[in-house]
Structure 1
Amino acid sequence: MTDPSRQDSLGNILKSTIEHPVKETKELLHQDGKLKPGQGTVTSVIALSLGFLSLLAVLAFHFPQYLTTPDLRHRYSVDVLRQLLLAALLIAGGMSLGNVILGRRRPINILSFVMVLLATALGGSRVPVGNFPDHTPYVGLDWFILDLLGSTLIFVVIEKLFPLYKGQAVFRKEWQTDLKHFAVNHFIVGLVLLIVNFLLHHLFGRLQSADFQQYVQHISFVPQLLLCILVADLSQYWTHRAYHEVPFLWRFHAVHHSVKTMDWLAGSRQHMLELIATRVCVLAPLYVLGFSEAVMNAYILVVGFQAVFNHANVHISWGPLRYLIVTPDFHHWHHASDEEAIDRNYAAHYAFLDYLLGTAVKSKNKFPEKYGVVGDYMPDGFIRQQLFPFNGSTKAASQNE
């Protein structure tokens, strides 16, 4: 007969083996500040991140019709993605196993290694991809993985090479909230595009003129792209200004402005309804004018890069260009809560629009002193920020206590 006390002992060991790594991982994810060198924390974070993203990538390979973005899946090189996934599994597995052997952050690295083993058991980089339906509801899991991985590699490096605030930690305060915004905005990309396309078609479809669109599309690529960005930015400027000057709209936009530390992840903090409304307002004139597909693809790359870069913890000397294009220095002033920065610097691409329209910041200070909404009344947490426009107060936090 089996000894009941031994069964209980084995059960407790198994339970402890599972719970301890999960508990320590949760504690790590709730922390902020600088990572201490020499304790294996940096490699543990890399292993945990790559292990988790690799597991998600394997699921995307298994269910591409539901977990990948149609506009992206037709452009992929499956072989390249397989090589990237294999490299991520090897790096995550090697780092986590090395830390376990060395006794550094062992519980977290055990969890990382388990995720690598699970991803490998599910097929790893060799999951076959056959034919699948192309018109199914989907979650943009692939876009989340690629953008998070690419943005982290590119912008964290840029921030370290050209920092505005040299002592700023990668894992600054409230990074968890902004990562949730980042994830949700990527996961609902299909729903957002569906809503935006529906509104554009039904609200602005009758304004289209085939002859005029043909004329626009015959403009050479570079001038057409510059014109496309100008049209988009004019619409962005007035939409953005309305968010600041109309009290009801400000309640939604205040979510974006509540970021108190600027970095590449800060721009992700945005209310979902603002995300949809802004896309409709900005894309509507581009839809009506009918810019070419190549120009629209280039514009999407430009706006995607600037949206992240201009929030980043970066300072570069731009010279006279700072009066022409929007730079991190220019957009940081827009997020500042300094008195001279309130309701200024609305443009997203062309800084000269604010200079022409009299809304550019004029300050003797080189950089802002503080960021966030005046009064610091925005609650932390993704859900509470999404509910804020409907039940929150714009009074200073001290007045609400």
Structure 2
Amino acid sequence: MSTKYLPILLWVFVGAVAAAIPFGVLIGDPVLRQLLAPFSLHIANEKAIYSPAAYFVLLTACYLLERKMPVNPRDFLSASFRYDLLWYFGNVCFNLAFLGYFALWLNAFYQHYLSFLSIGGVGDWHPMARFALGVLLTDFTRWLSHLIRHKVPAFWAFHAVHHSQTELNIFTDARVHPVDTMVSTAIRFLPMMMFGNPVPVIMAWLVFETVYPKFYHANVRINLGPLRYLLVTPQSHRVHHGLDRIYRDKNFGFTFSVWDRLFGTQFADDTVYPATGIEGKAFPHESGTTPRSQLRSFARQLIYPFRSIAQPGVSSA
């Protein structure tokens, strides 16, 4: 077989495994099955929420875009790409072990202690109205919390892990510290609950918010034209990951770019594609290309935020 087909075969394997494992989590975890049960009496119909085939198609589309119109051309399965795959599978394991239970705990906590935040009379509203308002409030609170995580040193210590990638790719969205994941999950759940959205509906939105960031983290030279005034794009989010602070203090949006435009945090130039990553010798940047060295870097980055907070004079973003 010609070696020119090797990257294609490798991608089919990597993409298929990456797409199949989360579905296995959904149908294999009894807690998540309980969360998703209201959608259907049959577990097979949970594909309406998460389809491995659809996810694989999306991953493949992003992969092809990266090959056809990259910001920085690079070899397939580069060391940085493999390292983000490690974070991806690590986060899948974390989600399987904890996130379903955390979602249930959030729901119970809200019902017992924060139910006074619920908007009165929303039960009579059309479900789509509750969903749309919940999405808008969720996206705004995520934008605000994202800005705060850049400004408060202790929060930045965890969020810096995500910004450490120098070669953005479709799996960079998974380079997130578990503590950062839990904070983000809470912020996404609570505003949706205020408008009376049931947990399964919230979970469905979480799936979308898991999929779309893969596109805008991709190594793709595209800004979506007029859609950039509404949505976060690969270009605008790359600016946010920029190595220079003039970029990193801009473009905090998650799904919609409207909040950055309303509050003056949108970077004006929508044609720039800066180098990405973070500076500083204190951060344990990944080193080496062997599985052993990458596992060592993975462990160090998991520990880094706690060590950083424990030390005086933690630097801000």
Normalising by structure 1, we get a TM-score of 0.60
List gaps (5 residues or longer) in structure 1: 1-36, 81-142, 394-401
2:204 and 2:103 mapped to 1: Cα distance?
19
2:266 and 2:137 mapped to 1: Cα distance?
19
Alignment correspondent of 1:155: 62
Q: Is the 8 A contact 1:213 1:290 kept in 2?
A: no
350, 353, 356: which one aligns with 2:262:
356
Q: Is the 8 A contact 1:335 1:372 kept in 2?
A: yes
Q: Is the 8 A contact 2:170 2:219 kept in 1?
A: yes
**Paired residue secondary structure (1:174):** helix
129, 143, 147: which one aligns with 1:241:
147
Over 3 Å counting, the alpha-carbon distance change for 1:362 and 1:204 in structure 2 is farther
Which protein is bigger by CA-based radius of gyration? 1
Q: Is the 8 A contact 2:71 2:273 kept in 1?
A: no
Over 3 Å counting, the alpha-carbon distance change for 1:197 and 1:300 in structure 2 is same
Alignment correspondent of 1:385: 301
Deviations 1:381-400 (A, max 9, x none): 3211101112359xxxxxxx
Over 3 Å counting, the alpha-carbon distance change for 1:209 and 1:179 in structure 2 is same
How far off its partner does 1:334 sit? Answer: 0.8
How far off its partner does 1:177 sit? Answer: 1.9
Q: Is residue 230 of structure 2 the alignment partner of residue 314 of structure 1?
A: no
Q: Is residue 250 of structure 2 the alignment partner of residue 344 of structure 1?
A: yes
1:353 and 1:220 mapped to 2: Cα distance?
24
2:17 and 2:204 mapped to 1: Cα distance?
31
How far off its partner does 1:285 sit? Answer: 1.7
Q: Is the 8 A contact 2:247 2:267 kept in 1?
A: yes
Q: Is the 8 A contact 2:231 2:257 kept in 1?
A: yes
Q: Provide the aligned length of Structure 1 versus Structure 2.
A: 287
Q: Is the 8 A contact 2:118 2:194 kept in 1?
A: no
232, 241, 252: which one aligns with 2:138:
232
**Which letter maps to 2:10?**
V
How far off its partner does 1:282 sit? Answer: 2.3
How far off its partner does 1:273 sit? Answer: 0.9
Q: Is residue 86 of structure 2 the alignment partner of residue 193 of structure 1?
A: no
Over 3 Å counting, the alpha-carbon distance change for 1:368 and 1:165 in structure 2 is closer
How far off its partner does 1:280 sit? Answer: 0.9
Identity %: 21
Over 3 Å counting, the alpha-carbon distance change for 1:146 and 1:188 in structure 2 is farther
Deviations 1:133-153 (A, max 9, x none): xxxxxxxxxx89779845543
Over 3 Å counting, the alpha-carbon distance change for 1:262 and 1:54 in structure 2 is closer
268, 273, 279: which one aligns with 1:374:
279
Over 3 Å counting, the alpha-carbon distance change for 1:345 and 1:378 in structure 2 is farther
1:217 and 1:257 mapped to 2: Cα distance?
43
Alignment correspondent of 2:89: 183
**Paired residue secondary structure (2:44):** coil
**Which letter maps to 2:105?**
F
How far off its partner does 1:50 sit? Answer: 8.6
1:235 and 1:147 mapped to 2: Cα distance?
29
Over 3 Å counting, the alpha-carbon distance change for 1:169 and 1:250 in structure 2 is same
Deviations 1:84-106 (A, max 9, x none): xxxxxxxxxxxxxxxxxxxxxxx
Higher relative contact order (CA 8 A, sep 6+): 2
How far off its partner does 1:250 sit? Answer: 0.6
**Paired residue secondary structure (1:391):** helix
